[in-house]
Structure 1
Amino acid sequence: MENRYLQHFLYPSSLFASKEPYVIKTILGSCVAICLWDPKLKIGGMNHYMLPNWNGNDLASPKYGNIAIDKLVERMLYLGSDIKNIQAKIFGGGELLESATGNSNMIGERNIRVARLMLEEKKIPIVASSTGGRRGRKIIFFNDTGEVRHKFLEKKVY
């Protein structure tokens, strides 16, 4: 089934949305990916961010959740979506790294929290999620159907 789709691999700190049928793939550890889908227009997009919030220093890039989420919503609206029709699926945010003291810095949890808060603010319903835990994930998103396939990775992703 994947063969009839154009392919796009989504790297960290980036986003992708299209009216054309694509299968968008990414690999997540503590990063979070949000898949937005418009069932009325049958279009969708995904972001992949590394840190929860831009602190005002350096570039306001999609490396940061608050920037990546706004940019992906803007892209969906630019492609013709009405925000009332958009739904979201959230993936990732695992706690895979531990510090020397045995504690994680909770980046994954903070990444998940910014996703949930911003989507709630924008009144975009979260229709599915697979977040947290101690393993990475491979995400495959079909942007014309909204289907997401994901599998846990056995080896830790750093």
Structure 2
Amino acid sequence: MMEIIKVGMADLNVTTYPNALTTLGLGSCVGVCIYDTKTKAIGMIHIMLPYSWGVKNNTNPAKFADTGIPLLIEKMEELGVAKKNMVAKLAGGAQMFEVTRSEFMNIGKRNVEAAKKVLQDLGISIVAEDTGGNYGRTIIFYSEDGRLEIKTIGKGTKTI
């Protein structure tokens, strides 16, 4: 019996087959989904910000790409997953508000770039993504086959 486990904002979770993970309302936030092709273990993190630099007493590493993604990988390894078998899918990173000319204010784009850099530094391939745009996403990540279902208001549902 499949259970769909919720991942909150600035939160992460891991599970194994036959379960799925879901997170709601990804705007500028990014859902980073990790799948192990051998064990069918999955992990998901809902990151809000790219980097934790300058944040004193960071009590929630899952809030940031640079601290949260390594923690997610660690949790996957605790399930017996080898890093060499992990692949990633990304969703979110939208520009939800009109931004002045400052790229710094485009948090969505910066979140996507940071997630990609951290995954690259960890040696994990990104096999699919649905990022950018100016609309929110709700995602469901299935352990059965690593498919990521992306639901958007006004744009329907797609699977990557």
TM-score (norm 1): 0.88
For residues 85 and 101 of structure 2, the distance between their equivalents in structure 1, rounded to whole angstroms, comes to 43
Partner residue, 1:6: 3
Q: Which runs of 4+ in 1 moved over 4 A?
A: 101-104
Task: For residue 102 of structure 1, report the CA deviation from its aligned partner.
Answer: 8.0
- Residue of structure 2 aligned with 1:43, choices 33, 41, 50: 41
Q: How many residues align?
A: 151
List alignment gaps of at least 5 residues for structure 2: 156-160
Contact 1:54 1:60 (8 Å CA) reproduced: no
Identity of aligned residues (%): 36
* Deviation of 1:123 (Å): 1.2
Aligned twin of 1:141:
141
1:107-148 alpha-carbon deviations (Å, 9 max, x no partner): 001100011111111111100000011001110111232111
CA–CA distance in 2 between the matches of 1:125 and 1:83? 10
Point out the more displaced range, 13-22 or 86-95: 13-22
Q: Partner of 1:79 in structure 2?
A: 79
Q: What is the DSSP-based 3-state SS (H/G/I as helix, E as strand, rest coil) of the residue aligned with 1:80?
A: coil
Q: Cα distance, 1:60 vs. partner?
A: 4.5
The answer for the alignment partner of 2:158 in structure 1 is none
Q: Shift of residue 68 of structure 1?
A: 1.3
* C-alpha contact 1:7 1:23 (8 A) present in aligned 2: yes
Give the TM-score taking structure 2 as reference length: 0.87
Separation in structure 2 between the aligned mates of residue 86 and residue 60 of structure 1, nearest angstrom: 27
The residue type paired with residue 144 of structure 1 is E
Aligned pair 1:22/2:16, yes or no?
A: no
C-alpha displacement at 1:19, in angstroms?
Answer: 2.4
Unaligned runs of 5+ in 1: none
Match of 1:73, SS?
Answer: helix
